[in-house]
Structure 1
Amino acid sequence: MSLIKRKTKGEAVFDIINNLGMLLICFVTLYPIWYVLINAFNDGKDAMLGGIYWWPRVFSLENFKAVFDNPGITTAMLLTVAKTLVGVGAHVFFTAMVAYAFSRRELIFGRFYIFLGTITMIFSGGLIPTYLLIRDLHMLDTFAVFIIPVLFSFFDLIIFMTFFREIPDGLDEAARIDGANDWTILVRIVLPVSMPVIATIALFHGVYQWNDYFAGIIYINKESLQPIQTFLYRVVAQSSSNIMTTALQGSAVTKTVTSQSVKLATMVVTTLPIVFAYPFLQRYFVKGMMIGSIKG
């Protein structure tokens, strides 16, 4: 005798409508990305005629060649990779170090510190005081402006702290019996068993570092320290300016590319690396997001 419950007519209709609605949402979400992709791989002059909706009409890699032939874009890309790697490593370690101290039950005034940190999540000093502080610290037009101001996040500290408090106390006690100090416990015991939360925070901050363009606009005047997202922002905002002209200079394929096609190709180049990083961190990311949600 079958134990499978047959759906009623109303439930079947609901499932159909629900699935169609989800497909529509997926299409509306993904099609703009697909549209940018196919136009980036299409000949720039041909794309100006319009009518490209599903596949490239005249397939071409010249747009991407124009992007990578420009030394300014290459420099911006390398700088973005460097600040993402350095920023993620520094942010994760520094935040984990502070979170480990906050996770200790014996920390004096621990609740008071958490209260103060929570306030910083709600209120900030504002853009002008932050800029004046960065200026007085002599970090304008330096690589450090991408790293130090975002070295610590109290929101990430809470995630770290919650995970650290779930680590059995026996590991800490056994290590102290063997003569380990707090640094040794953090580096050799706590961090190695905290890969899910480390991957989660690394992904959060990595996406932020890769996509951040605001710091390059506010704090950077040197072109050599301009990250790729700031470069892209200026390309999009000033497509007819000297930035786009520079992007096409020195390229032998300018007869087949346009300012619009270079925009689209640059968008693809700056987006794909962070998209490719997700599958490798997905299993850690899902587990890390569940931290503190289940008790048992």
Structure 2
Amino acid sequence: MFQLKRRTVPEASFDLGNNLLMLLICFLTLYPVWYVIVNSFNDGKDAMLGNLYWWPRVFSLDSYKAVFNSNGIMLAMGVTVAKTVIGTFVHVFFTAMVAYALSNRDLLGRKLYMTLGTITLFFGGGLIPSYLLIRDLGLLDSFWVYILPAAFSFYDLIIFMAFFREIPTALEEAAQIDGANEFKIFMRIIIPVSMPVVATIALFHGVYQWNDYFAGVIYINNSNLQPIQTFLYRIVAESSSNQMVSAMAGSIQKSVTSQSVKLATMVVTTLPIVLVYPFLQKYFVKGMMIGSIKG
């Protein structure tokens, strides 16, 4: 029989204080989200009276009806889903392919490539040079402005390389003996055994693509190509939000305010990525540990 070790008073006090601190941090993190949800499900006019903290006082779905009645938000949602899926696939594939090449220590010019890539982690050209480059490439008002500039990340490349170096070289040598070329080895051996890091980078970049609003603000003038986050940004930031709300609310305008529509839009835009995250969390944690033990 195993006997439980009795904890001393200082140890028990430390555990209690640590648990209370963690509960406080969780509350401070989650309550703002809960506050937004509560107000989004409350009648917009009633919410303006204040003192609404824990539960909806006058439950109403009118703000959500106003959101989903808008053709603009559904089109923006489609653009966001498309750029998240396509952008994540392109980013993961291209970054992994470059990382696989650079993980080969015999690659000609490898040190130069790594030096140039490391410099980009600390220095950037700035907004104006980036805008001029995007313009000269013909990507303004183009869906590909979301995909091509974000197709590669040197930070993600480092994570890929740390994982690839842990793959036994015997796998590659056996494939080479069977006549496989480098691309076939990459597609049929390296990628299948690297799914934890692939899922991790996919989560990183998928969240980035979903939350990115800046590209839509700077590079897109066509309202049909704006993502959902840019749509939300314009509702929150523009002085014409009341006109936007009037167009979105339609016949239910009496119980809808600009604030209630903003909060409902925040919930709608955040919910999908929140639902996906728990399924990839275990890969996220494992990916963050890559390279922490082995250099």
Aligning the two structures, in what range does the TM-score lie when normalised by the shorter sequence?
over 0.9
CA distance in structure 2 between the aligned counterparts of 1:166 and 1:13, rounded to whole angstroms: 42
Partner Cα distance (1:198, 1:247) in 2: 41
State, as a whole percentage, how many aligned pairs show the same letter: 69
1:237-248 alignment runs, 5 A limit: 237-238=237-238, 240-241=239-240, 243-248=241-246
Between the aligned partners of 1:5 and 1:37, the Cα distance in structure 2 is 44
For residue 234 of structure 1, what is the aligned residue in structure 2? Answer: 234
Matches of 1:15 and 1:164 in 2, distance apart?
A: 39
| Residue identity matched to 1:73 | I
Q: Which residue of 1 aligns with 2:69?
A: 69
1:114-163 deviation per Cα after TM superposition (whole angstroms, max 9, x unaligned):
11110111101111111110011111110011111111000000111111
- Segments of 5+ residues of structure 1 without an aligned counterpart are none
Partners of 1:246 and 1:260 in 2: how far apart? 12
Q: 1:293 is matched by which residue type in structure 2?
A: S
Match of 2:25 in 1: 25
Structure 2 match to 1:207? 207
* Secondary structure of 1:170's aligned partner: helix
Match of 2:251 in 1: 252
Instruction: Read off the aligned partner of 2:80 and give its amino acid letter.
Output: T
The 2-side partners of 1:146 and 1:294 are apart by 35
Alignment correspondent of 2:270: 271
Checking the alignment, whether the CA contact within 8 Å between 2:121 and 2:155 is kept in structure 1 is yes
**How much has 1:295 moved relative to structure 2?**
3.8
- The answer to whether the Cα contact below 8 Å between 1:72 and 1:247 also exists between their aligned partners in 2 is no
Q: 1:160 to 1:220 in 2, by over 3 A?
A: same
Query: How far apart are the structure 2 equivalents of 1:127 and 1:287?
Result: 34
Q: Deviations over 1:234-274 (max 9, x none)?
A: 11112x51x44234326321111111000000000010111
Q: Which residue of 2 aligns with 1:262?
A: 261
What amino acid sits opposite 1:109 in the alignment? G
Runs of 4+ in 1 over 6 A off after TM superposition: none
Q: Is the 8 A contact 2:76 2:227 kept in 1?
A: yes
Change (3 A) 1:144 1:244: farther
- Three-state SS of the structure 2 residue aligned to 1:255 is helix
Q: Distance in 1 between matches of 2:99 and 2:227?
A: 30
Q: How does 1:92-241 map to 2 (within 5 A)?
A: 92-238=92-238, 240-241=239-240
Q: CA deviation at 1:282?
A: 1.5
1:289 aligns with 2:288: yes
Task: Measure the CA separation in 1 of the matches of 2:183 and 2:294.
Answer: 29
Post-superposition CA distance 1:5-42 (Å, at most 9, x none): 32222222222222212111111111000000011111
Contact 1:244 1:259 in 2 (8 A): yes
Secondary structure at 2:253's aligned position in 1?
coil
1:60-106 deviation line (CA, Å, top 9, x unaligned): 11111100101111111111111111100000001011111001121
Which digits, 9 at most, give the CA deviation of each residue in 1:200-249, with x for residues without a partner?
Answer: 000000111011111111111111111111111111112x51x4423432
CA contact (8 A) 1:44 1:258 kept: yes
> TM-score when scaled to structure 2?
0.96
Query: Partners in 1 of 2:27 and 2:237 — Cα distance?
Result: 27
Instruction: Give unpaired runs (5+ residues) of structure 2.
Output: none
Determine if contact 1:156/1:201 at 8 Å carries over to the other structure. yes
Q: Do the aligned partners of residues 180 and 2 (structure 1) sit closer, same or farther apart at CA in structure 2, a change above 3 Å counting?
A: closer
